[in-house]
Structure formats: structure tokens, C-alpha cells
Amino acid sequence: MSMNSFHARQGKPKPAAQGKHPADRHGLLRVDQLLVAQGLAASRTAARALIDAGRVSHDGKPVTKPALELPPDARLKVVADDSDRFVSRGALKLEGALARSGLDVRGAHCLDIGQSTGGFTDCLLQAGAASVVG
């Protein structure tokens, strides 16, 4: 016996089908969903991290809760951070290592062994490397 036939026999209403976004039913979206929809965050997890770090505002006021609901056309502002300069946090590690070692990669042809998200490649190119292969 399926659950649908059980509910039908008991006269209980079926659960309402939800759209892609649960808040869609009344025209509002959660801020974490909105950040992703507007291309300001790569995922809802990344959006929540931005909110938790205090980097998101709406109408000049900080957004403190990912579940805050706003209209889809709400203008959100994300404050830039030092980590936004690179495609991944790995680049920040290499940048620090280059600075501490005094190694100048300008014009160098570099090898990035084990490229993953591209953080090291990004860092090397921004530091002036002529090319990076991996």
C-alpha cells in the first residue's frame, strides 16, 4: 500500500508541492538563495559564509540571517575581502610563501603540479609569471 493511497483513504490532504525555492509561493526568496541567484555567491553555503562574516547588506543595513526573505529584485551588496582576489584560498598560501621567500616569478615559466581549483596558477599569473602549466 502506498502512502498516497493511505492519505486518500484517511481523507488527509496531500502535502503541498514546493517549488524550486520554498519561499517562491509568496514571491520572496531567502537571502542565501538570492545571493546565488544574483551571482554574488557560488552556493548557498558560500552565501551563508558571506552573511556570517558580516559582508552582506541590503539597503545599507547588514544582513545577519540567511533566512531573511526579500523580493527577487532586492539589491544586495557584498563587501570585497582580501580572499576575493584569487579563485581559491590556496593562492593566499602561495602568495604568503612567495612574499616570505622573496622569490620573484615575474617572467618565469612555472609548473603547477596537482592543479585543482587553480589557486596557485592564479597567484603565479597575478605575480607576473609568463605562463603556468600543470
Q: Looking at domain 19-79, which CATH architecture does it have? A: Roll (3.10)
Residue ranges covered by each domain of the chain: 19-79, 84-133
Among 60, 88, 58, smallest CA distance to 73 is for 58
What integer pLDDT is reported at residue 115 of this predicted model? 81
- In a structure prediction context, what are the per-residue pLDDT tens digits for the chain, which is 134 residues long? 455 555 545 555 444 444 454 545 578 999 999 999 999 998 999 999 999 999 999 999 999 999 999 999 999 999 988 777 888 888 889 999 999 999 999 999 999 998 888 889 999 999 999 999 98
Q: What is the pLDDT of residues 96-131, one digit of tens each?
A: 999 999 999 999 999 999 888 888 999 999 999 999
Q: What are phi and psi of 86, to 5 degrees?
A: -125, 165
